[in-house]
Chains A and B, each alone.
Chain A
Amino acid sequence: DAKTTQPNSMESNEEEPVHLPCNHSTISGTDYIHWYRQLPSQGPEYVIHGLTSNVNNRMASLAIAEDRKSSTLILHRATLRDAAVYYCIGPINNDMRFGAGTRLTVKP
């Protein structure tokens, strides 16, 4: 099973970078790492996903360790609107198993 481990909560100051870690030591070699986030009172939204190499999009960057046992979601400049629960997911047979995620608080 591709179980993931994330810190329960993190804090950041507005306009500063945020590094959200995730451990997924049992992920298979062909499963992508997915990140979603859930803003208050909304459904989760896709952030980014990757397999082996680092990935960038307009929302964030994803740095994947060479051994694929961990990854880090990077928000380059946190804003108040980035306050959310961030989920790191390693699918099991295409089943997106959401854990409790990391609650990110952004301070002005």
Chain B
Amino acid sequence: EAGVAQSPRYKIIEKRQSVAFWCNPISGHATLYWYQQILGQGPKLLIQFQNNGVVDDSQLPKDRFSAERLKGVDSTLKIQPAKLEDSAVYLCASSLDPPSGRADEQYFGPGTRLTVT
């Protein structure tokens, strides 16, 4: 079974530039998550999709971050404009079942390491 795919693996941009990350979840997984992991910290949930609808985006900085999941499969996360503090690893994860009163096992991709200079 193929895992969660993410691209690019690394990205370096200057502050105020824009950047986009792509995620392809495991086939058949209804729920998709984007996390931000700053060095030395645990992952922080940015947004959660169930199929192509947003379940939770309470921790997404909506003034600069946006995400979409067209057709309930692939997803993109965009930052515009980037700030120095956005330097982090951006992780995508997917899970088989939608939230059902208990959190389901999540499968994570390798992440995209973003450096903002």
Q: Is B85's CB within 8 Å of the partner chain A?
A: no
Write the nearest CB–CB distance from A34 to chain B, whole angstroms: 6
Q: Which of B102-117 contact A (CB under 8 A)?
A: 102-103, 105-111
* B103 touching A43, Cβ below 8 Å: no
Which of A18-26, A64-72, A93-101 lines the interface with chain B?
Answer: A93-101
Closest A-chain residue to B91, C-beta based?
A: A43
* A98 touching B44, Cβ below 8 Å: yes
| Contact among A34, A85, A95, A97 for B48, CB-based, below 8 A | A95
Give the interface SS of chain B, mostly helix, strand, loop or mixed. loop
Give every chain A residue within 8 A of B4 (Cβ-Cβ). Answer: 43
* B45 touching A95, Cβ below 8 Å: yes
B36-62 interface bits toward A, Cβ cutoff 8 Å, 1 = contact, 0 = none: 000011111100100000001000000
Give every chain B residue within 8 A of A100 (Cβ-Cβ). Answer: 40-42
Interface size class of A (residues with CB under 8 A): 20 to 34
21 contacts between A and B (CB under 8 A): A30-B101, A31-B102, A32-B102, A32-B103, A43-B4, A43-B111, A44-B43, A44-B108, A45-B107, A46-B106, A87-B42, A91-B102, A94-B99, A94-B101, A94-B102, A96-B45, A96-B103, A98-B35, A98-B42, A98-B43, A100-B41
Q: Which residues in A have some Cβ–Cβ distance to B below 8 Å?
A: 30-32, 34, 36, 42-46, 49, 85, 87, 89, 91, 93-101
